[in-house]
Structure formats: C-alpha cells, structure tokens
Amino acid sequence: MRVKPKLKKDIKKKDKFMPARKKICRFCADKIRGVDYKDVKRLEQFIKERGKLVSARISGNCAKHQRRLVEAVKRARFLSLLPYTRV
C-alpha cells in the first residue's frame, strides 16, 4: 500500500519560507496616546466589513492601545458614529 504524503510536514516546511513580518502598533507609530472615539476615520480602520473589531493579533496593536481602541469603538457605537453590525 502506498503511503500518503505527510501534510503536517509540508505545512511546516512552507511556514519556514514565509518571512515573518513585524507588525507595529499604528497608534504608537503615529505617537497618539489616547484613542479618540470621535476619530471615526481612524476607528474604521480597525473594524471589519460586518462591523466587528479586528483583534490585536491581526492588526498588530499593542495591548495598551487595543484596550483604548475597544473602549473608543464601544463609545462611538453608542453615539451611532460606528455601526454595531452591517448586513
């Protein structure tokens, strides 16, 4: 009987050649200390099409700014500046 190629091994090999791009917190890069809930343009960069928040793991935000971002988005949603959801 023939043995199927090991998938796990192949995936690992592929990962080796993927260059790890360092993500940077965009708030730290722009030297913004607090996150303004009225700054809708900036907040919109961190919400997905359906209105969900983008996780820090994806966006590259640092923990401090991610916490402030979540708070700001919630405030903006309450004031109808940002949507809770989009259909």
Residue 53 bridge partners (DSSP)? 47
User: What's the min distance (Å) between Cβ of 17 and Zn ion?
Assistant: 30
Helix locations, the chain, DSSP H: 7-17, 26-29, 40-44, 56-59, 63-78
User: What's the min distance (Å) between Cβ of 62 and Zn ion?
Assistant: 3
> 27 or 47, CB closer to Zn ion?
27
Please report, in angstroms and rounded to a whole number, the separation of the first and last CA atoms in the chain. 51
> 55 or 83, CB closer to Zn ion?
55
Per CB under 5 A, contacts with Zn ion among 22-81 are 25, 27-28, 62, 65
User: What's the min distance (Å) between Cβ of 26 and Zn ion?
Assistant: 8
Round to whole Å and give the CA distance between 66 and 45: 13
Residues that bind Zn ion (CB under 5 A): 25, 27-28, 62, 65
